[in-house]
Structures are given as C-alpha cells and as structure tokens.
Amino acid sequence: MFKYVFIPAEESEPISSKSLSKAGGLSADELSKTAKEYFFEQSGGAARKIIIDNASPAEKKQIAKQIRDQYASTPSASQINSMEDDALLEIIKSTQASATCEITCITVPTPTNSHQAVSMYGDDNARNRDSPFNKRATDLMRATGHGLPADNSNADGKPSGIFGDVFVGRCHDNEVADIWERVDFTEDDITGDLSKVEWCRTARKKGGGGGHGGAPASLSSTLSNMTAQQNGAGANASAIGAGAAPSTGTTGTPGDNEENGYKWSQTDDEVEIRFAVPSNTKAKYVKVKYGIQSLKVSMSGTTLCEGETWGHITVDDSTYTIQDDSDTGGRELCITLGKKEAEQWNYAVMKK
C-alpha cells in the first residue's frame, strides 16, 4: 500500500491522507484511476455516458442533430456535418463522457531529489465549471517554484491558480534503473510553512525538479472541454447538447510565458524564445550556442540568456531569426529549439 493526500477546494474541509495498493504499477496506477473516477462522477460524465449508451436510434439521431445545430456557426461545423451520426456520437463519448483528469507535475524525478516525482491530479475543467478556488493546492504549486496557470482575470474575474479538489501523490521514478514505484506522500509533506518543507526547498533548487518560476507542466491534457453544468435531468438530447465541440487535434499549448527577460511559448515539437532587441540589431551581432540540454544567447558581447533547458534539444532542428516587431517599433530575436521529446516544458532556460 502507499499513501496519498486529498486536498479539498473548500478550506473548511481538512486535508486527508488515503491509501491505495501499489500492485497495479505504472500501467494500472490506482491513484490515476481513482482520480479519474472521482472527477468523472463530479463532472456528470457518468450520466452523459449512460444517456448516449441507452439512447434509442431516434434519440441518437436527435442528439447528433442538436450537436450540429449548436456548432453550426463555429469553425468545426463543416467537419461535424461531414460525420455520420454514430461517428459523431463516438467522439462525443470519448471527449465528454469518458473518465479523465489533468495530471500536473509538481516535481519531475532528478538525481537531486532522489528521483522522487510528485504529481497533482485535478479536474481538467474545474475553472470553467465554477469550482471553488483551491488556495492550498495553489500555495503548494508556488512553494515548489511553479508559476500558475494562465491568469484569465480579464475574461472571467477569477484569480490565477488551481480550482477544484485535487489529489497529490508521489512515486520513485528512475528510468535508468528501470524503477517506477509508488511511495508515500502524507499530510506531513504539506504541513506548516511550505517554503521551509524540505522536499519543497529541494524542488526549488537547480535540478531539483520543481518549476523554477515556469508554468506547471501538464502531463495529461484531456479532450474534455465541457463549458456548463447540466441543469436537471431533462431530455437525453438536451443533456448531451450542453457540451463543447469535439476536438480532433493534438494537445494545445499555453500562450506566452515571461521569465528572465524574454517571452517563450511551446508546441509539442519546439520551444520559441523571443527577446526584444534594438531596431538596428543585425544577425552578425548575435551568437547562439546550442547544447544537448543548454542554451547560451549573446549579443554584441552581452549575454542575454545562459543556462540549462528544461528538456533535451535537437540541435539540428534549432535555429534563430531576427525580425521587425510592429508592436514596439524595434526588432525581435527569435530562438527556436527543436524538442527531442514531445513533452511539455516547465520553463525554457534555467539561469546559471
């Protein structure tokens, strides 16, 4: 057995330690399974799945029509209209009526933290569903060096941070030694001043596996994107029709992150780092040195950026350009790093 913690969003509810079996290993991890089932029930996904599975042919046809009508004016309309009813409903089932959760790296395993990975499991659409702000989970992300999820306060008036209930667990993950095993994570690990808790202090160190100011890395971005709660039982078709359009693309990327004097963004394949430079900047003034997991950028003898990158770089796929920046009237130095692995980075470059 191993221990993990449950952090309710409501501060009046206590943090609790719980236990599960290690027997499933990585391939059938009990914590991931438990979290998915919990959020599946909370979101109404279980009810939506039953509705689709039990619908008669006429009801399924009505559901498909309502989905097409709902998204008639969206970019997805032509793709949705070209699908057979059964294919459309299968996508709805996979994106809106399946057990999912968002898994966020609090720490990645490194030699500095003895290959201890800590992950947070939450509802992938808690913010949109108006779940309560989870201050304790947000404080935990900050304490381990992470920036917070995008601040959408201009759009929805909500603070930047974690929303909804979360589970937190730890594993020993040493790929070289071929070890993956759940280990205990208890209330003692998140009690008191988090800035002074030993594992949090280690996470903030260089190579300690924490965020170092970057945005938390999502390990499991799901396709579910429900935008509203269902209001009562209602008819089968109206209950399904409250969902978002099905997604058929790959996982998206957060917008610009600002750190260490530059902006950066990422896709599954590359990281883009942008520096604002004077209007008279030319390529001959710039020197870029790419390493397997490092980057140094200098201009006219001044170092703009130097340090270790979050992930490994494919040097042959990395380059840089200088272009005019219409917003500032100056120029912009854009460094593109090819990712060796299709993974989300917590930060671009950690300063030496």
Query: Residue 160 — pLDDT band, cuts 50, 70, 90?
Result: confident
Cβ burial 7-36 (10 Å sphere, 16+ → b, else e):
bbbeeeeebeeeebeeeeeeeebbbbebbb
Query: Residue 174 — pLDDT band, cuts 50, 70, 90?
Result: confident
Lowest mean pLDDT among 93-102, 162-171, 321-330: 93-102
Helix 57-70 to helix 85-96 angle, to the nearest 10 degrees? 70
Residue 246: pLDDT over 50 = no
Q: Provide the mean pLDDT of the chain.
A: 78
Q: What's the rounded Cα separation, in Å, for the pair 120 and 7?
A: 10
Task: Please report the pLDDT score of residue 224 as a whole number.
Answer: 28
Task: Please report the pLDDT score of residue 95 as a whole number.
Answer: 56
Higher pLDDT, 149 or 101: 101
Task: Please report the pLDDT score of residue 188 as a whole number.
Answer: 93
Task: Please report the pLDDT score of residue 153 as a whole number.
Answer: 47
Higher pLDDT, 129 or 345: 345
Q: Does residue 204 come out as left (phi exceeding 0), alpha (psi in the -120 to 50 range) or beta?
A: alpha
Residue 167: pLDDT over 90 = yes
* Cα maximum dimension of the chain: 72
CA-nearest of 282, 247, 213, 235 to 98 is 247
Q: What's the rounded Cα separation, in Å, for the pair 99 and 37?
A: 6
Could you state, in order of their start, the residue ranges of all structural domains in the chain?
Answer: 2-42+102-218, 44-99+225-240, 257-351
Task: Please report the pLDDT score of residue 352 as a whole number.
Answer: 64
Which residues does 161 contact at the CB level (< 8 Å), separation at least 6? 133, 134, 135, 137, 138, 141, 148, 149
- Count CA atoms closer than 13 A to 260's CA, side-chain side: 21
Query: Residue 149 — pLDDT band, cuts 50, 70, 90?
Result: low
Query: Residue 136 — pLDDT band, cuts 50, 70, 90?
Result: very high
Which residues does 238 contact at the CB level (< 8 Å), separation at least 6? 66
Q: How far is CA 281 from CA 19, 240, 264, 303, in A?
A: 59, 55, 20, 15
Q: For 71-112, what is each residue's pLDDT tens digit?
A: 787 777 787 888 888 888 777 666 554 556 788 888 888 888
Strand order in the sheet with 262-266: 257-259, 262-266, 270-277, 331-339, 313-324
Task: Please report the pLDDT score of residue 245 as a whole number.
Answer: 40
Task: Please report the pLDDT score of residue 250 as a whole number.
Answer: 29
Task: Please report the pLDDT score of residue 60 as a whole number.
Answer: 86
272 phi and psi angles, rounded to 5 deg = -115, 125
Q: For 260-301, what is each residue's pLDDT tens digit?
A: 678 899 998 999 999 988 888 888 888 999 999 999 999 888
Task: Please report the pLDDT score of residue 102 as a whole number.
Answer: 81
Helix 45-54 to helix 85-96 angle, to the nearest 10 degrees? 160
Q: How far is CA 27 from CA 181, 207, 337, in A?
A: 11, 27, 31
Percent of the chain at pLDDT exceeding 70 = 78
Q: Which CATH architecture has domain 257-351?
A: Sandwich (2.60)
Residue 1: pLDDT over 90 = yes
Q: For 294-322, what is each residue's pLDDT tens digit?
A: 999 998 888 888 888 888 999 988 999 98
- Give the torsion sign (CA, 219, 166, 223, 213): negative
